[in-house]
Amino acid sequence: MNRIAAIATTVALFVPGWASAQDAMQYKVKHLSVLAEDDKVRVLRWAPMKGDKTPMHSHPAAVVYVVKGCRVRYNFPDGTSKDAEIKTGAVALRPPVTHADEALDDCEAILTELKK
């Protein structure tokens, strides 16, 4: 039950939205890379150092696995923000989301985005 609660909490941190959908890869930030891609999925490695930021961007539905937990500040298109702690080993089924992010600690996660 503890793992289910952790996953539910992690999923609740991600607010769906596509108002200003943009692929994060267009920014060529050093902490985001494509590990694999085909016509159905794209696997990304997100490994920011403390202070690294990603501008406003969108993701389709995804599976997120946290390799190294950290604290992250998420900013949303409506102007709200949320600080979150993501824990090592957490797995989340994340709905589509539009956000910007800032790593408050060193971090690493693998995102498997599901293409339509």
What is the SS3 assignment for 40?
coil
What pLDDT band is residue 21 in, cutting at 50, 70 and 90?
low
Structural domain count of the chain: 1
Residue 57 sits in a domain of what CATH number?
2.60.120.10
What pLDDT band is residue 12 in, cutting at 50, 70 and 90?
very low
The 10s digit of each residue's pLDDT in 23-75 is 888 889 999 999 999 999 999 999 999 999 999 999 999 999 999 999 999 99
Containing structural domain, residue 66: 2-114
Q: Which residues of 54-89 are buried (b: 16+ CB within 10 A; e: fewer)?
A: bebbbbbebebebeebbebebbbeeeeeeebebeee
